[in-house]
Amino acid sequence: MSKLFKSIIPILIVVLFSSFVLLVDQVYICKGPSSKVYHKSDRCKGLSRCSTEVSKVTIEEAKKLGRRACKIEY
């Protein structure tokens, strides 16, 4: 293998891993005033009862909003 190829591989691995981690950290919340849970999937049975807007946020944002993990999915 060439030196250039060997030096690019670690960079590609880091970029791909970083992208995957960002996707995993995304969850869904109902924006309703009484909502208390975040969900892995926008198709969760618990989230289907949301009568307001559903938003995609990071787990950190959901926790800052006082949400806990959905008991159906987690």
Domain boundary assignment for the chain: 3-69
Q: Is the dihedral of CA 30, 35, 40, 46 positive or negative?
A: negative
pLDDT confidence band for 5 (50 / 70 / 90): low
For the question of whether the overall pTM of this predicted structure is more than 0.75, the answer is no
Rounded to 5 degrees, φ, ψ at 28 are -115, 140
Tens-digit pLDDT profile for residues 34-74: 999 999 999 999 998 899 999 999 999 999 999 999 999 98
**Burial of residue 20, with CB atoms counted within 10 A of its CB: 0-12 exposed, 13-18 middle, 19 or more buried:** exposed
